[in-house]
Amino acid sequence: MSALAFTYTPVAAAATHVPHSYALVGLVLLPLVGAIIVFSLKTEQAKLAKQLSFLISLAVVVYTAIIAIDFNTDKHITTANQFQFAGSWVWIRDFGVHIAFGVDGIALVLVLMAVILVPCVMLASWNSLDSKSGAEEVAAPGAPQRSVKNFFGLMLLTEFFMIGVFTATDVFLFYVFFEAMLVPMYFVIGSFGGPRRQYAAMKFFLYSLVGGLLMLASVIGLYVTTGSRSFAITDLIGHVPQGATQKWLFLGFFLAFAIKAPLVPFHTWLPDAGAEAPAGGAALLVGVLDKVGTFGFLRYCLPLFPQASKYFAPTILILSVIGILYAAFLAIGQRDMKRLAAYTSVAHFGFIGLGIFAFTTQGGTGAVFYMVNHGFSTGALFIMLGLLLSRGKSRNIDDYGGVAKAAPIMAGLFLLTGLSALALPGMSTFVSEFLVLVGTFTRHKGLAVLATTGIILAAIYVLYLYQRVFQGPAREKTAGFRDVNAREIAAVAPLLALILFLGIFPKPVLDIINPAVKQTLHEVHQTDPAPKLGPNSVVAGGTK
Amino acid sequence: MSHVLFAAATVPTIKTPSIAYHAIAPILIVLGAALLGVLVEAAVPRRERFNAQIAVTVLGLIGALVAVGLLHNTSLTTPSPVGSSESFYGALSVDPAGLFLQGTVLALALMATLLISERSIEIGSPIVASAAVVVGSPDDKRLANSERVQTEIFPLLLFAVSGMLIFPIANNLLLMFIALEVLSLPLYLMAGLSRRRRLLSQEASLKYFLLGAFASAFFLYGLALLYGYANSVDLPAIFNAQRTSGKSDVLLYLGLGLVIVGLLFKASVAPFHSWTPDVYQGSPTPVAAFMASCTKVASFGALLRVLVIGFSGSTWDWRPIIWGVAIASMVIGAILGVTQTDIKRVLAYSSIAHAGFILVGLVAVTSDKGQSLASVMFYVLSYGFTTLAAFGLLMLVRDADGEATHLSQWSGLARKSPLVASVMTILLLSMAGIPLTSGFIGKFYVFRAAWHTAGPLVVIALLCSAVAAFYYLRIVVLMFFAEPPENAPTIAIPGWSASVALTTGVVVTVFLGLLPEPIVDLAVKAAHLRG
């Protein structure tokens, strides 16, 4: 499977041998080059811009798939060689920073999820800018035409930053991607969003920026306190001094990621940004960009600051559980569909936080799998909402009713999406939620029990939404709704297919994730607690 | 008194100092070009004068830049300062750091010259045709629409640059004072030369002059006190006196404090910043660009030298002062900037905030091995290019009254000119310190330098950057996400000179964000101040 002549370079001898695999550099640059080409098109060439962007995003999927097939899941992992396809080049010698890429199982599955979501989002947004029937709201009279090529260019640019942020193995480079990623999303929200887009874009940017700057303080602190002349993550692990320093540095990273994730009480930007962003942008924002926060917990907070992670874990676990319950209640009370979807995500992030900070293999593996599933599930949810809004031109749930009669296929797809959001058994989301809860239960029984009630609440907000929008008597407005066409089905179907497939057969993904999670826990000096439930205790399949 | 005079008179021989002319070649070239410019004013016919002046100025600055480059190579290979300190009685020290700053000043001055000589945006140039004509008089109205232009600004700029070249290499406070005056006096005049809104410009000029004169007086008084303490105005002598002198420390601290006030004023550091917004707003925009970039480089250069060469022995005494003014500057720059409605004033407050960030890097300058010095030098360079280009862009957005600098006029600018809006966005993101721009690398560099000695200061600085980011982003929001107003301003197409300057500024901003290695390397190598 070395069609692109990937050479797997062992990183074990990092001290003497610097790896130079170009595989990931190519992957990162592909969407960037695409974005530059699309931006350089003329505004009139909207159609070409769409087709070109879609093709590039498909090429990225193929490229990533080849890397995934080439990925070695049986390798014995140590701190030094945990990244595959590693490549590292000096960037700024005096700062000790490198252009360094590499993936472990966690990064790989997240990159896969992100690149699969992008073409789906593009398909779903195909007509949302340049046709009245595709727009999410009735355009104000005299409102200028929005630039199609800019939207698709920004999507590719966002993809570039997403891949970069997941594959960077140098803390400085990660930070650069983490911050710079805000800019294209800021323009997606601000240029293509709803009525309060200026406010939402600004709020999104400033929240993330404050978190990012606190993280910058910690990044510099890492450099100073470890005395390491390098920002490579493998050079930093295990070198952060214990005690108060480590706690402060941890907090810098943690706050940035908690705002990004977002963890209650740092979540208030997400409902605004999620609601005002165009549906495609929201799908990427909530589905992928926010995963950077939870990914950051696993990749940076835990291995770099093991002692502080353990110290703060109880607080974070409690915040996560509060998030699960609080956001679920808020979701039930929403009238704005996109805000509702955003709040469901806040609740789901609670589960991910729970899984990560429970420090068990099941919990960790479940959390990573949860991130992947949530990306697909929320992506599909926002895409479906976008399709619904393009017909109803309103985000208010009360304006709808009986849509299922006019558009039965749409209702079916929406129901499937909704069921994946509430983690119905048979869906991949169920596997991950179950793993998280089992993983949590072995350490924190009370919290696991409380979190489980979140599943019931999820059923309420999903089914209540479905009932109000799709069931009941058809309104005058909804009676004329067009059912989904082939393009729209093609945008959602792959995501739902993946959710169903991984729900029945999650092993391939879990096999990729598991070694990386074990290594991460090893770096936090945590081992799974011995089972105390008796000899017949059930341990979730696929993790063993 | 007579006794003292008598004692001085009995000194047996007075040696004339030997002067290493090649070491001060950049200064001589610039001064020579300035004098030539004065002759051009007198001798060349008016029609040819503008082009002749541009030629003299540009060639003079390029010549000086080349000379700096040549000196730089020698200064790195020879251990002692170029033209060893003896040759000037120690008054000048042409060391690597000094040369780096001189080169920066020259490059930025070259760009400012290109902005000043822009003639296709406005009839004549951004500079008034005749500064002495009464505002609003019939002559004034006639001249405002004529092709005539005041070309004295070019020699004035060169004189200011010559002062800026001496300022960061002066090892002698008296010489530093002279350099301060040489750079300031032309600036006071240049501030009053705006072609449009002349009253505002003249007010700016007068304000700058009065406050600047105060600041100079502070500097001079401090210098006198330090002489009283150390019996010398040489920085190395003042440094030695701190160990040996039996005089009261009050003289030392008061003197140091007053000298620092004089320097901080020029660098527009709060609480000595109040002139900055008014002067930037009133001055012709290219002159404001020149002040915001070159003056800042030169003043921080002088401040670095005073603190490192003269006062590294009393670091613990001045460090709290730098903490204080750095915090004041960042907080005032960030918070008051939010309330501004005029883009030039926003940039002025941004400049105040940036002065605070630079001071953060300066805190540890005596206690690490050149890291802080290198970071400050990198920062002033990267900020200089960014801010110069940002001011340059303001020249392009115009309405009937000249430049349209009110924020509301910038709404929806991206519709009209996506290029101008995008370029402005890059510059603003750089000022906000977003990665992939030079502003981020600069911030990272100074904060890293300061982290060890001043961790809390770094955190304050980061929070202030977040606040300041608000007003940069607000401009982006206006340009891209808002609808254009009824009487939207027009976008002028710049001629070759402004285009070159703007392109250079933006390219440097992006390049230093992506591949800062060459300049970082240069700054690290040049991070040596010699007494």
Q: Of B263, B358, B357, which is closest to residue B305 (Cα–Cα)?
A: B263
Q: What is the nearest CA distance from A511 to chain B, expressed in angstroms?
A: 35
Beta-carbon separation of B481 and A92 below 8 A: no
DSSP letters for A349-388: HHHHHHHHHTT-HHHHHHHHHHHHHHHHHHHHHHHHHHHH
Q: Which residues in A lie closer than 8 A to residue B434 (C-beta atoms)? A: 179-180, 182-183
In this predicted complex, what is the ipTM? 0.90
Nearest to B481 among A93, A201, A223 (CB): A201
Chain centre distance of CA B354: 12
Show residues of chain B in contact with A201, CB under 8 Å: 477, 481
Q: How many CB pairs under 8 A join A and B?
A: 86
Of B463, B470, B481, the CB nearest to A191: B481
- Structure tokens given for A338: 């996109």
* Separation of alpha carbons A55 and A62, rounded Å: 11
Confidence of residue B132 (pLDDT cuts 50, 70, 90): confident
Q: State yes or no: cis peptide before B271, omega within 30 of 0.
A: yes
Q: What does the DSSP 8-state code read for residue B87?
A: G
> Among partner residues B448, B481, B520, which is closest to A197 by beta-carbon distance?
B481
Query: Cβ of B210: how many Cβ atoms within 10 Å?
Result: 12
* Cβ contact A220–B448 (<8 Å): yes
Residue A541 has pLDDT above 70, yes or no: no
Which tokens sit at A24?
């990931």
pTM of the model: 0.92
pLDDT one-digit tens code per residue, B22-35 = 888 999 999 999 99
How far is it, in rounded angstroms, from Cα A125 to Cα A155? 11
pLDDT band at B72 (very low <50, low <70, confident <90, very high): confident
| Optimal mutation site among B448, B511, B521, interface A, most CBs of chain A within 10 A | B448
Given pLDDT bands bounded at 50, 70 and 90, which one contains residue B76?
low
The answer to which of A144-148, A294-298, B316-320 has the lowest mean pLDDT is: A144-148
Residue A91 and residue B455: Cβ atoms within 8 Å? no
Checking DSSP bridges between strand A84-92 and strand B397-399, what pairing results, if any? unpaired
Flag if A176 and B458 touch (Cβ within 8 Å): no
What are the chain B neighbours of A223 within 8 Å (beta carbons)? 448, 451
Mean per-residue pLDDT, A332-356: 94
Predicted local distance difference test score (pLDDT) of residue B23: 85
In B, minimum Cα distance to A173 occurs at B435
Residues 389-428 of B with CB under 8 A from A: 415
Q: SS3 string of B307-350?
A: HHHHHHHHHHHHHHHHHHHHHHHHHHHHHHHHCCCEHHHHHHHH
pLDDT at B86: 53
Task: Give which of A154, A206, A216, A226 to mutate to test B binding, by max B Cβ within 10 Å.
Answer: A216
In A, minimum Cα distance to B414 occurs at A191
Probe site for chain A from B434, B486, B524 (most A CB atoms < 10 A): B434
Q: Are A360 and A437 in contact (CB under 8 A)?
A: no
Q: Specify the range with the lowest mean pLDDT, choosing from A349-353, A469-473, B144-148, B309-313.
A: B144-148
Interface with chain A: mutation pick from B428, B443, B477, highest number of A CBs within 10 Å: B477
Measure B428 CA to nearest chain A CA, in Å: 12
A505–chain B nearest CA distance, Å? 41
Distance in Å from the first CA to the final CA of chain A:
27
> Looking at chain B, which residue has its C-alpha nearest residue A190?
B481
**Residue B458, min C-alpha distance to chain A (Å):** 7
Q: What is the pLDDT of residue A523?
A: 86
* Per-domain boundaries in chain A: 2-129+147-529
- By C-alpha distance, the chain B residue nearest A178 is B435
**Which of B441, B459, B477 is the closest to A202 by Cβ?**
B477
Interface touch B440/A176, C-beta < 8 Å: yes
Nearest beta carbon to residue B517 from set A92, A201, A209: A92
- Calculate how close chain B gets to A521, using CA atoms only, in Å: 30
- What whole-number distance in Å separates Cα of residue B14 and Cα of residue B175? 19
Check CB contact under 8 Å for A180 and B435. Answer: yes
The mean pLDDT value for B153-161 works out to 96
pLDDT at B1: 44
Q: Which two tokens stand for residue A284?
A: 């990427």
Contact call for B473 and A205, based on CB within 8 A: yes
Subunit contact B451:A183, Cβ cutoff 8 A: no
User: A-side interface with B, Cβ within 8 Å?
Assistant: 91-95, 144, 175-177, 179-180, 182-183, 186-187, 190-191, 197-198, 201-202, 205-206, 209-210, 213-214, 216-217, 220-221, 223-224
pLDDT category at A373 given cuts 50, 70, 90 is: very high
d(CA A483, CA A475): 15
Interface contact flag, A190 B480, Cβ < 8 Å: yes
pLDDT of residue A306 exceeding 80, the answer is yes
Reply yes or no on whether the pLDDT at B89 is more than 90: no
In whole angstroms, what is the distance from residue B310 CA to residue B319 CA?
A: 14
Q: What is the pLDDT of residues B346-378, one digit of tens each?
A: 999 999 999 999 999 999 888 887 889 999 999
Which residues in B lie closer than 8 A to residue A179 (C-beta atoms)? 434-435, 440
pLDDT of B56 higher than 90: yes
Q: Do B473 and A220 touch (CB under 8 A)?
A: no
CB pair distance less than 8 Å for A210 and B466: yes
Judged by CB atoms closer than 8 Å, whether chains meet at B435 and A202 is answered as no
Torsion angle defined by CA atoms of residues B278, B284, B288 and B294, in that order, rounded to the nearest 10 degrees: -140
